[in-house]
Amino acid sequence: MDPETMSTTKGATTERPQPLNTDEPEPPAYEIQQDGVQIAEAVTTTWTRKHLIVAYASMWMVYFVNNLNSSLTANLSAYITSEFSEHSLLTVISVVTSVMGAACLMPIAKVLNLFDRTVGFVIMILIAIMGLIMMAACNNIATYCAAQSFYTVGLTGAIFCIDVITSDTSSLRDRGLAFALTSSPSMITAFSGSPLSNQFHETNWRWAYGTICIILPIAASPLIITWELAKRKADKQGQLQYQQRVSRSVNESIWYYVMEFDVIGIFLMIGGTILFLTSFNIAGNTEGQWESPKIIAMMVVGFCVLVAFVAYERWLAPKPFIPFHLITDRTVIGACLLDITYQVSYYCWASYFTSYLQVVYNTSLTQAGYISAIFDFMDPIWLIGCGFLIRVTGRFKWLLCCALPLYLLASGLMIYFREPGHNVGYMCMCQIFLAVGGGTFILIEQVAVLAAASHEDYAAMLALLSTFGNIGGAVGSSVSGAIWTNTLPVKLREYLPAELKDQWSDIYEDLEKQLSYPVGSPARTAIQNAYAFSQRYMMIAGTALMGLSIAWVLMMRNIKVQSNKDVSKVLF
């Protein structure tokens, strides 16, 4: 397949690839002239290099806070749910929060385009703070789940806003480096999160979320202030030409925004996805398991609602959740399918990985966090190199072709090393390989969809990609939960000594109880073997599914990433 290049025009507007298909109509004028896009273009022409540095420093700090929170949650969630005697609900909570995170992205993309980048960013920060306050104060599993949903929506949306701003303020050729820079804080949080998690676990885990709640607005403030100052300067210079405001009644305004933000479509997607995916998670905890009428009803209703969502979006929605013209490009399709496949594969096993390390390898919470964080540490280091290679070669597809075999190799090795008795160092080696492969996927997916889009579609493109990724995470967690709930209890009843067989349920639901049995004792050996059995099947499912990525990579065009930097703008 011959590489296809993207020609660009330069002028007062930002870079805009020419349509590959000359018969394809241009997006409507009202999309091109949306206020949020105009403001983003005006800001980059009026601010200085110092403003750019301050903005990127603030975005770096928000990423730092988000990564630190993710590390704390990954390490503490098993103990928090065990405190409520609901350790097995880890994946159920993950499914719900992933779906909620996916559902918020398209509406936020609308806010970013219709109003301003910082409007959506501030809304997301406020939602995240509300969720963190709820998390610090929760006293039962229901409040914990609701709190996770709120702060996941808030932080996912805030990071999405930062990614859009990063796209606004970087040239296409250097965009990989820009994304690598903003995501680099995980090099620090990868190894600071684990000891902090251990300290909070030994003292009071609620203060972990209280701390994040305090530092998040401090980290976000410089970006908001810098953007607003540059916007006011652009307005004084007459560079902002807002769309003419239409006078509407209250009812007309409500109806307009219900249609504009596709509220009906969002509810159909959330309801259908949660019903369908969580049925797999709770099947193992329901009498009769898969034969239960409740489980069957959830699956059928969830599937029907998802079909209704697709039909509504395709034929009935005045403002579709996913604009049709964005999903007809094969590069966009390939990148989105690669993202959802990768996320499903990863989350097939990731939810219980730190619990597995502590039970099977007898690592401490800190050590398990370190091993799990190898991915987060190696990922940004490699992303900087990956972004530089894209800048030098002007191509990105060859990196995918190198990363995919490495990821499949590491995933296959993880299947073999899931059995007890292997040195934990092999786990560390596999995590390094997974970080290089997975990090390449994440970065190039973003670069690819943006290379195939014009500026007014940046927010929608990143929202589309992130939606696929979040749904993939939910599906992966659902598969993981289904395997966990239908294998671990069975194996515990089979392997546990006779005097403990009647306690299998308490052991199953409580990580602390699992770790209370000494290493080498019959009970601990039984628990280790049950864990290894479940985790091995999780890895098999994830590896087998990842084989589909070969087709998705071949589907993507090898776009030439040229330097489209407009000389009139201050960009990365």
CATH number at residue 355: 1.20.1250.20
Among the three residues 239, 274, 303, which one is the final residue of a domain in this structure? 239
Question: Do 535 and 398 fall into the same domain?
Answer: yes
* Residue bearing tokens 């202030």: 225
Question: Do 357 and 494 fall into the same domain?
Answer: yes
Question: Do 481 and 390 fall into the same domain?
Answer: yes
Say what the pLDDT of residue 23 is: 40
Does residue 254 sit within a domain? no
Q: What is the percent of the chain with per-residue pLDDT over 70, rounded to a whole number?
A: 88
Residue 21 reports pLDDT greater than 70? no
Residue 563 reports pLDDT greater than 80? no
pTM: 0.80
Question: Do 212 and 280 fall into the same domain?
Answer: no
Say what the pLDDT of residue 481 is: 82
Question: Do 82 and 220 fall into the same domain?
Answer: yes
Range of the domain at 538: 322-561
Does residue 5 sit within a domain? no
Question: Do 205 and 332 fall into the same domain?
Answer: no
* Residue bearing tokens 């749904």: 471
Question: Do 298 and 342 fall into the same domain?
Answer: no
Does residue 25 sit within a domain? no
Does residue 258 sit within a domain? no
Token code pair at residue 261: 């933000």
Does residue 27 sit within a domain? no
pLDDT tier at 321, thresholds 50, 70, 90 = low
Say what the pLDDT of residue 571 is: 62
Residue 456 DSSP class: G
Question: Do 135 and 229 fall into the same domain?
Answer: yes
Which range among 23-32, 102-111, 492-501 has the greatest average pLDDT? Answer: 492-501
Question: Do 370 and 514 fall into the same domain?
Answer: yes
Does residue 401 sit within a domain? yes
Cα–Cα distance, 528 to 366 (Å, whole number): 19
Question: Do 280 and 415 fall into the same domain?
Answer: no
Beta bridge partners of 9: 16
Distance from CA of residue 154 to its chain's centroid?
Answer: 12
Does residue 4 sit within a domain? no
Question: Do 331 and 303 fall into the same domain?
Answer: no
* pLDDT tens-place string over residues 24-50: 344 444 444 578 888 888 888 888 889
* pLDDT tens-place string over residues 295-319: 888 889 989 998 998 888 888 888 8
Q: Name the domain count of the chain.
A: 3
* pLDDT tens-place string over residues 418-457: 888 888 889 899 999 999 999 899 899 989 998 888 777 8
Question: Do 403 and 295 fall into the same domain?
Answer: no
Does residue 18 sit within a domain? no
CB 8 within 8 A of CB 450: no
Ramachandran sector of residue 504 (left: φ over 0; alpha: ψ -120 to 50; beta: rest): alpha
